[in-house]
Structure 1
Amino acid sequence: MPRQPRRRSYDQHCAAARALDLVGDRWTLLVVRELLAGPRRYTDLHADLPGVSTDMLAGRLKDMESAELVTRRRLPPPVSAYVYELTPRGRDLLPVLRTLAAWGAPDLGEPRPTDAVRAHWYAIPLLGALTELGAGVVQVTLDEGEFHVRLGADGVVGYGDGAVEAPDARLRTDAATCRALAAGELTLGAAVDAGRAVLERPAPVVAPVVASVVASA
């Protein structure tokens, strides 16, 4: 097997520099953002990373495989396709992206005419605002589409693109409110009170109580 070329390095004995050696290249963290929503085919990744060339995306995925951030596996029959998914080390980048998104949220502003938009791109910035709902699955609906967030008892578990069956809560809002929530300018409760968001919590299904009759001897 031919020896893989050595990745560029800052050649600094520093934890931050070593991390940037692995994820500091253009597009790498955005690939992580997409794969945090679950396994994706190459074509799906390319569709949700507008602006990346096919060669660039293929190169980044190979680099990420070499760094053990991503794995590639074949789906079982009858589907004939490969998917990419994050390794546990790759999934550990969620807090990094959350912090990066929180830092960048105040500068987000209105979409520029050249900006692409996907609904699930709002998932990471919204995670902090949604944790107050407690453990469960929250489906979020925007004009741009739907995504869902899985919340654990100790915080965020993850998120996924699209709707989900039987969520614990449904939130309908708009992109402007998402930006305000992400920037900390608005709480979820205040957004609901102001009519900028609608939060629905389906009533739990209660099993009927069946009384048992005990015959006396």
Structure 2
Amino acid sequence: MPRQQQPARPARRRSYDQFCATARALDAVGDRWTLLIVRELLAGPRRYTDLHADLPGVSTDVLASRLKDMEQGGLAVRRRLPPPAAASVYELTARGRGLLPVLTALAGWGAPALGERRPTDALRAHWFALPLLRSLEGLTEAGVVEVGLPEGTFHLRTGEEAEGRDVYGYGPAEDPDARLVLDEDAALDLARGGCALAELVRGGRARVHGEGALAAALRETGRE
């Protein structure tokens, strides 16, 4: 009589097995690609296909595995969009969004390593959101800033406008309070940590458009 096959046990996620907050954090987000998936989802809910398109180099199997781990770890959830979209999206939980300052700090730490862009380096406009947010940390004026770069457009929220919401997003904003335009060299200098946004505004390398309070506050950063 053939032996009955036992159901496969779910694989146990690797752990450092250390009673340390840093080790516990790395248990949750230390796998390759996880933090970059968080970076993408910080801009709002995304379909699996969109995530795969904006994470060049990740295999479909690894992406699916990481998303499953993030769901199990309470970092992300998957939900079905109402008709007529009829698609599933992934989005961060409050715990997942709590990784924003971690990624912002990590981007600052890694900025000096950017150097020259290699021919194999992929680039997306919204990847500049983290260094730009870091440069806007002292800005208290609330609103939505649309950012135009040669690679494309994204938008971000400042002040109270950002509380409890997606801090940045893909593409143009519906009704931005200000528009910020940077050329390629200015954006790269900002990402590398070579200069702050205030210096770019002051030197005319970042142009601010708009007449409201947020646009005025952005222009004022260049006069400090």
**Into which bin does the TM-score normalised by the smaller protein fall?**
0.7 to 0.9
- Name the SS for the 1:62 alignment partner: helix
2:46 aligns with 40
Aligned-partner residue type, residue 150 of structure 1: R
Number of the residue aligned with 1:178? 187
Aligned-pair Cα RMSD in Å: 2.0
Q: Helix, strand or coil: the match of 1:121?
A: helix
Q: Deviations over 1:160-215 (max 9, x none)?
A: 111002211101002332232344432323212322111112348xxxxxxxxxxx
Asked if the contact 2:77–2:90 (Cα under 8 Å) also holds between the matched residues in 1, the reply is: yes
Say if 2:90 is the partner of 1:84: yes
Q: Which of 152, 177, 180 is the matching residue for 1:145?
A: 152
The correspondence of residues 86-125 of structure 1 with structure 2, limited to 5 A, is 86-125=92-131
Superposed CA offset, 1:1-30 (max 9, x none): 975321000111111111000000000000
Residue 29 of structure 1: which of 29, 32, 35 is its match? 35
| Cα distance in 2, alignment partners of residues 58 and 155 from structure 1 | 29
CA contact (8 A) 2:143 2:161 kept: no
| Pairing 1:168–2:177 present | yes
Asked if the contact 1:105–1:179 (Cα under 8 Å) also holds between the matched residues in 2, the reply is no
Q: Could you tell me which of 6, 9, 20 is aligned with 2:26?
A: 20
One-letter amino acid of the structure 1 residue matched with residue 33 of structure 2: W
Give, in whole Å, the separation in 2 of the partners of 1:203 and 1:27: 39
For structure 2, the 5+ residue unaligned runs are 1-6, 214-224
Amino acid at match of 1:20: L
Residue 212 of structure 1 corresponds to none
Q: Which amino acid aligns with 1:30?
A: L
CA distance in 1, matches of 2:212, 2:143: 13
Q: CA deviation at 1:135?
A: 1.6
Give 1:210's aligned residue.
Answer: none
Q: Tell me what 2:204 maps to.
A: 195
Answer whether contact 1:128 1:182 (CA < 8 A) is retained.
Answer: no
**Unmatched segments (≥5 aa) in structure 1:** 205-217
1:126-145 residue CA offsets vs partner (Å, 9 max, x unmatched): 10223445221111000000
Residue 51 of structure 1, CA deviation: 0.3
Per-residue deviation at 1:152? 1.4
SS in 1 for 2:107: helix
Distance 1:105 1:169, change over 3 A: same
